[in-house]
């Protein structure tokens, strides 16, 4: 049960742009305009209250995730699952 609870906590604390768990971000999260740490986005995606790449499209982010996971030796089904999950994050949800 503890393992499941920890996994649930990690799921709640993912970057809402790329899906990376914020606990793995070396800077502890992106930065807001006032200099505070973002609890929503990682430092790779977000800085000074803005996205680093505001014109980035969902398909491009999904391809980046696939490429990163391929480099790390993950099987095709893990890459496909994670690419699918990116579309569920708040930055990419249709309004």
Tens digit of each residue's pLDDT (9 = 90 or more) over 49-81 = 999 999 999 999 999 999 999 999 999 999 999
Q: What is the DSSP letter of 28?
A: S
pLDDT of residue 10: 67
Global confidence as pTM: 0.81
Does residue 41 contact residue 75 with C-beta atoms inside 8 Å?
no
- Which helix (H) or strand (E) segment is 47 a member of? strand 46-47
Cβ-Cβ contacts under 8 Å for 79 (sequence gap 6 or more): 65, 66, 69, 70
pLDDT of residue 13: 86
Half-sphere exposure in the Cβ direction for 52 (13 Å, CA): 12
């Amino acid at each position: 049960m503890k393992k499941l609870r920890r996994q649930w906590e990690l799921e709640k604390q993912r970057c809402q742009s790329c899906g990376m768990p914020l606990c793995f971000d070396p800077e502890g999260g992106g930065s807001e305009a006032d200099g505070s740490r973002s609890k929503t986005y990682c430092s790779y995606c977000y800085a000074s209250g803005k996205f680093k790449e505001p014109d980035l499209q969902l398909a491009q982010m999904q391809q980046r995730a696939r490429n990163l996971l391929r480099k790390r030796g993950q099987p095709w089904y893990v890459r496909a699952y994670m690419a699918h999950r990116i579309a569920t994050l708040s930055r990419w949800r249709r309004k």
